[in-house]
Structure 1
């Protein structure tokens, strides 16, 4: 896909984005998206991409129906849990002690109107200081994205004033102008500085590191200073090693869905990630960096969850 393949409205929005992130990043992402739409197997990344093989989705639904699990699995998708997570961070400035981030990941908002209704009901009224979204706004990995943006517009009033996001492997870069028009800043290998009580922390975000691999930690960390307490948003936990050595104190991610369809006890069958299975869900630590992998709000491939309920997470930052 090239810029010339986009509508005039898309071209105008992407031209503004190009001025910010650079011509190379934009053209690379658009080109890879064009290749991505036609491939289930892609050399050089994960060998197999179940998310892209849509002919098998019906087979999975059929197997679950025969096993008597499809109906229960669909109901589980609407059973969105609230998780609370205290995060002790060395170097966190005193004014940020207790600062709370509402973390939503893998929203797949065009799944159904009923799902969006339940997600709104779950986040409505939750007290938080800022909101972060770690990608996958769309259910499919390609095709129309307007329904996902329309659903995000319904959700947006319930996320608070300050919202930041990164893209996932289900998202197209053509969504960025529409997302930002809703008052959500998409961090494309960029960072912002959050101020509170005369102190600051850094919030950085990278582009998709799973399929498109257009992430750039050097650019995302370019404005970090010695002594900064920095938080990284990444759709996937896969670049955890590089992030840990780039000066980040905390990494928030998703992508794995915690397995989505799990064995009893929450043991994932598949996580579609190169990261260790210990990083597939919940809190973890690598060297001095803490991390948290959300199991996600929505569902992908099939609209079913088993032994792995969806979640929204409140991360409360604490001085270590």
Structure 2
């Protein structure tokens, strides 16, 4: 995987991006996804051009800023949003092949790289010092859910130079499918309802990734699992935890996601005011289980609407695989 290079060349022209996308996904898939984006964007716009989706309301950042300022919390909340931490999580997988013992995944999510320059700098400075085997990124690169992708793509280009190997990535609800050829030209490997097999010695780990299940609902678990052998060790990358039930039924062992930001603005004790997802609250942050499948919902590295956080620190996460407490090397 480290030798992966894409045949696609990035370009800032939407026409060129569309052509590249059709080469990558097939004309039918690409055109249907773009048509869905245009339809969704039209729903976010009133006749006067004002954005009516909650994440895109022109007044929303000002309202949040005013509320925090009146409570004397605004500067603290901004500082919190840039205080990135490294969270370490251990997945105990019974029967894990010895060759995968200690295998470590770096998960990044909800970067919103064009939101706040200080936050992007914190991410870059943090990840460049970390030791891991594979980086996976679970979506949301752009600040808004509409508009020009160029600022977000520039941020992802800067980040890419500090990531080891070939990062695997999926799209979130803030992302345009036009990002796929652009990001693959940078050396990211996009999983669009696809899977790949990671091999180490005589062990195999299948990693699948689906398109956004939240806003666009263009995920396709059947396509993502098509090549995975029955009983194989498998991990799903999904932007949101909203398809946890279907993923468990599909036989995935592990599930990594983001989207919720852990609530971003939480009450003391980390109680979220909202998670913006159709999920039980137990899935909103950290570790969880669905039948035999283990999941993790990261609070994400970036912010949405406004670069503020309360009682919910931003994070990048290192997930280590282990067969159990008595494993070699523990």
Deviation of the 1:77 alpha carbon:
0.8
- Out of 259-268 and 117-126, give the one that drifted further: 117-126
Matched, 1:103 2:97: no
Within-5 A mapping of 1:63-82: 63-82=67-86
Question: For 1:167, what is the secondary structure of its paired residue?
Answer: coil
Deviation of 1:91 after TM superposition, in Å, equals: 4.3
Structure 1 residue 20, shift from structure 2 partner: 4.0
Q: 1:57 aligns with which of 58, 61, 67?
A: 61
Residue 185 of structure 1: which of 189, 201, 213 is its match?
189
Query: 2 CA distance for matches of 1:214 and 1:198?
Result: 34
CA distance in 1: counterparts of 2:77 and 2:137, whole angstroms: 24
- TM-score with structure 2 length normalisation? 0.89
1:94 to 71, 76, 98: 98
Match of 2:320 among 307, 316, 320: 316
Aligned to 2:120: 116
In the alignment, the residues of structure 1 paired with residue 60 and residue 318 of structure 2 have an alpha-carbon distance, to the nearest angstrom, of: 35
Residue in structure 1 matched with residue 140 of structure 2 by the alignment: 136
2:149 to 135, 145, 149: 145
Residue 112 (structure 1) shift: 2.2
Map of 1:297 onto structure 2: 301
Retained in 2: the 8 A contact 1:105–1:136? yes
Contact 1:208–1:234 (Cα < 8 Å) also in 2? yes
In structure 2, relative to structure 1, the CA distance for the partners of 1:260 and 1:16 (3 Å cut) is same
* Pairing of 1:212-291 with structure 2 (within 5 A): 212-291=216-295
Structure 1 runs of 4+ with >6 Å offset: none
Q: TM-score, normalised by structure 1?
A: 0.92
SS of the counterpart of 2:154? helix
Equivalent in the alignment of 1:45: none
Contact 2:116–2:307 (8 Å) recurs in 1: no
2:167 aligns with 163
Contact kept? 1:258, 1:295, Cα under 8 Å = yes
Q: How many residues align?
A: 309
- After superposition, the Cα gap between the structure-2 partners of 1:310 and 1:8, relative to the gap in structure 1 and judged at 3 Å, is closer
Gaps of 5+ in 1: 1-6, 42-47
TM-aligned CA deviation for residue 312 of structure 1: 0.3
CA contact (8 A) 1:295 1:311 kept: yes
- Please state whether the residue corresponding to 2:218 is helix, strand or coil: coil
